[in-house]
Amino acid sequence: GNSVTQMEGPVTLSEEAFLTINCTYTATGYPSLFWYVQYPGEGLQLLLKATKADDKGSNKGFEATYRKETTSFHLEKGSVQVSDSAVYFCALKAGAQKLVFGQGTRLTINP
């Protein structure tokens, strides 16, 4: 079946550090890939998406590239801020209506 694996958290970085959160997937067919962010006590917000191989999604300084050859969709940001502290979820959608999520990675940025 379809599945998503994210790097284990929590991740703690200093402000202005470079961020990478790894995400790999297993899917039949050609899925769309998504990153969602969840701030404390809130629902999930769509951060970025990519719908085909080699697409790059970007938003708010975050980027992720759909790599079909490595079945990956790693999230990156060049310089993180305290306000980026949140839980990040990688997810895929493959043909059906359902979105399959990874387990989430908690990110804490220290000033």
Binding site for other proteins (CB under 8 A): 31-32, 34, 36, 41-46, 49, 51, 89, 93-99, 101-104
Of the pair 67, 93, the CB lying nearest other proteins is at 93
- The CA distances from residue 77 to 2, 17, 58, 101, 109, in Å, are 27, 9, 10, 21, 12
Q: How far apart are alpha carbons 28 and 2 in whole angstroms?
A: 7
Q: Which two tokens stand for residue 35?
A: 């990153």
* Residue 49 C-beta: closest distance to other proteins, Å: 6
Where do the DSSP E strands lie in 1-111? Answer: 3-6, 11-14, 19-21, 23-26, 32-38, 44-50, 56-59, 62-65, 75-77, 86-93, 100-101, 105-110
Of the pair 25, 89, the CB lying nearest other proteins is at 89
